[in-house]
Amino acid sequence: MSRAPLRVVITGASSGIGAATAVAFARQGARLVLGARGTAGLDDIALRCRGAGGTADAVPVDVTDPRAVADFAADARARLGGIDLWFSCVGVGVLGKYQDVPLADHQRVIEANLLSHMNEAHAVLPIFLAQDRGTWVNMISIGGFFATSFAAAYSASKFGLRGFSQALRGELSKNPRIHICDVYPTFVDTPAIGHAGNYTGARLSMPPGSLAPETVAKAVVRLARHPRNTTVLGAPALALKLGQFAVPNLSAAMMNGFMERWSREAERGEDGSGTLFDPPSEPSGIEGGQRRPEQRRAAAAAAGATALGAAALGAWLWRRRR
């Protein structure tokens, strides 16, 4: 017996991971409602989804506006006749020493990365409860485990998202058919690097070994049929958790040293808020175009080794304190 097409809502669907996930679901014949700020990128991805074999409605929405999100959710349910999976994939960033970045930019990061996901969960959970089933996928990132120097607001938002998901899972523990799924990729080669706010004085670029957006999309699609609480991509999940518990400040200090050196030595760039406050006027697509696949395995291994080393060091120090 063939399965009914999945009914999927994706926010942040106009580029990057959200766009890749929309196309991946479309290849399975899913019925999609896609949301984002910019109509140009949204229309582009909706067209790609239809070409891939799915149906897709592009619905512009500002997810930082709770009323707009509630209306968007009601509209999506009406269009689809229900919602099987909702993927909250809106995310922005700004790089620079905390005091050098305008406070308005920091606030925008918190609104887009944390409060928007909370708005979306608040809108979709009543739908899931009425259906007695549904999956909410919360895009977080490895930044939910390790604080990122030069991105303090981003770190605050990602740590907040991890705690938010854990709290929701507790509240929904008596609803076994409703799932809260977190996704934690390492660096992903998307257009976001060109959209980010930047106050470092250097031109932003992706580190070696960044994941392809399609890798993350494949993991999200799997969650529709096989939900799980935590999905980590690009590094071992257990090592990240142990490292965060054992030596929470070590990785941030190491990152700070790297970022200070990088900002001094990298090619010069122009400071500004990027697309934090206004969407791109043209479609951005899925890939960022900076990935070097031949280095991906080495970088993933290095990330895992770093996390494992931090965890081991922390465990040793903890035993000595005893």
Options 98, 154, 184, 199, the catalytic residue: 154
233-268 b/e (C-beta count within 10 Å ≥ 16 → b): bbbbeebbebbbebbeebbbeebeeebeeebeeeee
Token reading at 153:
């607001």
Q: By the 8 A CB rule, do 313 and 248 touch?
A: no
CA 113 to CA 154: how far, in whole Å?
A: 8
154 counts as catalytic: yes
Which residue matches tokens 């109509």?
A: 39
* Angle (nearest 5°) at CA 221 between 285 and 148: 65
DSSP state of 3: P
The helix (run of H) or strand (run of E) holding residue 159 is: helix 152-171
CA 153 to CA 116: how far, in whole Å?
A: 14
Q: By the 8 A CB rule, do 92 and 113 touch?
A: yes
Q: Which amino acid is at 59?
A: V
Q: By the 8 A CB rule, do 30 and 12 touch?
A: no
> DSSP letters of 31-96?
EEEEEES-HHHHHHHHHHHHHHT-EEEEEE--TT-HHHHHHHHHHHHHHHTS-SEEEE-----EES
Q: How far is CA 277 from CA 19, 62, 94, 195, 289, in A?
A: 20, 11, 12, 10, 24
What 3-state class would DSSP assign to 268? strand
Active-site residue list: 154
